[in-house]
Amino acid sequence: MAGNVILEDLLAELIAFRGAFVLQNAHGSMEFQGDDLYLNPTKEWITIYHEGASNPESQSHLHLRRAMLRSARIARELEETPHLQFFQTPKPSGESTLVWYFPSFYDYQKGKADIPENQKVYDAFVDAHGGEFAIVDAVGRGETDRLT
């Protein structure tokens, strides 16, 4: 594994990229995205809300149980935008149920033209952090590679 990260720090960095979360299981999938997302962490959960709602629970939002996200790995396939898979195991293995899609590398309305800015953001992320992480509790902040 490349390093240890704190889930809250990793998610804060990812939502700043304005990509998309996808929750998936055998029954289907759900996409959650927006340019106005923020984190609301508690001891057991990190909730991601849209800003500006008088009651954040009244709009689509995402509750993530901290203990269920223990590692992550970037998956990259030829001619597809990469995504970060989250796993419940200490080392990435098995099926991921939460995926983060980096902003699209391609403009499909322009015949799949490259979007170099999005590719640069991804490349800088990988250069800085690698492609695989162990997710640790915030209590161990002094012993981790902080992402901010």
- The predicted-structure confidence for 26-79, as pLDDT tens digits, reads as follows 888 899 998 899 999 999 999 999 998 788 888 889 999 988 999 999 999 988
Q: Is 81 helix (H, G, I), strand (E, B) or coil?
A: coil
Average predicted confidence (pLDDT) for the chain: 87
Confidence of residue 136 (pLDDT cuts 50, 70, 90): confident
Are residues 100 and 81 in contact, defined by beta-carbon separation less than 8 angstroms? no
Hey, where are the domains in the chain?
3-133
Instruction: Count Cβ atoms below 10 Å from residue 74 Cβ, excluding itself.
Output: 20
Strand partners, 3: 133
Query: Which residue, 90, 71, 9, 77, is CA-closest to 46?
Result: 9
pLDDT > 70 fraction of the chain, expressed in percent and rounded: 91
Q: What's the topology of domain 3-133?
A: Heme iron utilization protein-like fold (3.40.1570)
